[in-house]
Amino acid sequence: MADPVEILVASRNAKKLEEMQRILREHLVEIAVLGLDDVTPYDEPVEDQPTFVGNALLKARAGVAATGLPTLADDSGLCVDALNGMPGVLSARWSGPPKSDHRNNELLLAQLADVPDERRTAYFTCAVAVVLPDGTEQVVEGRMDGRIIREVRGAGGFGYDVLFEADDAPGVTTAELTPADKDAISHRGKALREIAPLVADLLR
């Protein structure tokens, strides 16, 4: 049997790696997904691009350059309409260093405290880039629309999931969905399902 194809996912987030592996394996059974902790450490780029696409490409290019492996990277975040699209590309570090989901969620609730329910619309967006050693690049984007609730709910997911109700799953936060149900509607799930067959074709 052929050895599995190795692909680096430029992330240390265990839940994100699991999510990516689940979706990629729907298209590439013989795939070994490696995270940043599985390869020799390298200088990771500062995510200083103004767009999700720019940051995803930055991370994927750095991964290929350092490891020689096909590299997949994503940049994703929450865009809140009442906050003019913020926190956007700053989502992970919205409340300042060190990164803290808890502090980010507290800050978001405080910023939206006086915003009425009908204006608490928001969406998650995700750009996924894959870069191959030969310089081939592909980028896709996914989006999940919904709203910000007024209290933390749920124990699953990560980031702002505990405050986000998706339009496609009203009444529950994305932190209350099963992994499979979240994958089916999430911004990352949509982007990965779009890019997975492209990656499969590129790696064959």
Digit-coded pLDDT (tens) for 153-167: 999 888 999 999 999
**Confidence (pLDDT) at 29:** 66
Q: What are the residues facing 46 on neighbouring strands?
A: none
Residue 75 annotated in ligand binding: yes
Residues annotated catalytic, as ranges: 75
pLDDT of residue 56: 97
Is the pLDDT reported for residue 2 higher than 60? yes
Give the relative orientation of helices 187-203 and 14-24 as an angle to the nearest 10 degrees: 60
Residue 180 confidence (pLDDT) above 90: no
- Domains located in the chain, CATH noted: 5-203 (3.90.950.10)
Q: Is 123 annotated as a binding residue?
A: no
Structural contact between residues 146 and 81, judged by C-beta atoms closer than 8 angstroms = no
Amino acid at 136: T
Note the Cα 196 to chain centre separation in Å: 14
Is residue 65 very low, low, confident or very high in pLDDT (cuts 50, 70, 90)? very high
**Beta strands 5-9 and 71-80, pairing class:** parallel
Kindly state the helix (H) or strand (E) to which residue 96 belongs, with its residue range. none
Which helix or strand (DSSP H or E) is residue 190 part of? helix 187-203
Q: Is the pTM of this model over 0.75?
A: yes
* 12 in a labelled binding site: yes
Separation of alpha carbons 62 and 51, rounded Å? 17
